[in-house]
Amino acid sequence: MIQTATHTDIGLRLGNEDALLVLPLPDGSTLLAVADGMGGHNAGEVASQLTLEMLTEYADAPFADAFDACNARVYKRSLADRRCNGMGTTLVAARVDGRTVQAAYVGDSRIYHWDGHALHQRSEDHSYVAELVRRGLFTPEEARSHPHRNRITRAIGTDPAVDTDCTSFRWKRGDLLLLCSDGLHDVLTDGDIAVLLREEPDLQQLAHRLVREALHAGASDNISVVLARNEEKFER
């Protein structure tokens, strides 16, 4: 059994351009996703919603194929509707069962794995500042206050094709997954997040606490989280 919880908050924005997905699949696995849209007017909301609609249609497909389909759907809509020109969205998704997590991501929304002892970031941000950190030009601490820290280098729907990063890893009974938009990790450090994951046993309360702590820490962007806990009694 996979237990899930979600929560989202508009922050200080005029609208919420984040979209969340929790979809139980016929084989007993669960599909999870967070998309953080961007674009003028309501175009970011359109991009994130279109993306999760297409991801649902491709729920059983390999993530590379599913992300390609999402990208094509959003890109074509941006060309057909001038109000949506240039829109795009981040996307982080995971397909989970009691043994394995398969994940994919584009942009700077993240997936974290809490194994009961340590927090592991299982995605890499596709952003200007993250690339500078990987090159050793900035420390992670310096990157957190960089004026261009939210400038992403890869997104769903902004170009005719997209390069999707995929990963997989094992998890065990009691482990947690956290998928989130940058509204959370922009203001809460990994240490902050780990403390909350360790302290709060109730999954829905944990989702609310993560968002609430981000708001208290000064978050102005939309904040969204999807949580999953592995409660399988036995591995398949």
CATH number at residue 211: 3.60.40.10
Tell me if 199 is assigned to some domain: yes
- Pick the closest to residue 142 from 151, 127, 152, 130 (CA basis): 130
User: Rounded to an integer, what distance in angstroms lies between the CA atom of residue 54 and that of residue 232?
Assistant: 29
**Number of structural domains found in the chain:** 1
Asked whether the beta carbons of 73 and 55 are under 8 A apart, the reply is: no
Tell me if 22 is assigned to some domain: yes
Looking at residue 141, what is its pLDDT? Answer: 66
Tell me if 140 is assigned to some domain: no
Global confidence as pTM: 0.93
Length of the chain, in residues: 236
Looking at residue 232, what is its pLDDT? Answer: 87
Tell me if 132 is assigned to some domain: no
Residue listed under structure tokens 């057909």: 80
Looking at residue 234, what is its pLDDT? Answer: 57
Tell me if 135 is assigned to some domain: no
Looking at residue 143, what is its pLDDT? Answer: 64
Tell me if 61 is assigned to some domain: yes
What pLDDT digit, counting tens, does each position of 158-172 carry? 999 999 999 999 999
Looking at residue 151, what is its pLDDT? Answer: 79
Tell me if 85 is assigned to some domain: yes
CA 162 to chain centre: 17
User: Rounded to an integer, what distance in angstroms lies between the CA atom of residue 150 and that of residue 164?
Assistant: 19
Tell me if 139 is assigned to some domain: no
Looking at residue 127, what is its pLDDT? Answer: 81
Q: E strands, the chain, where?
A: 2-9, 18-24, 30-38, 88-89, 91-96, 100-106, 110-114, 119-121, 165-170, 176-180, 223-230
Which residues form the domain of 174?
2-125+151-230
Low-confidence ranges of the chain (pLDDT < 50): 235-236
Looking at residue 236, what is its pLDDT? Answer: 46
Looking at residue 233, what is its pLDDT? Answer: 77
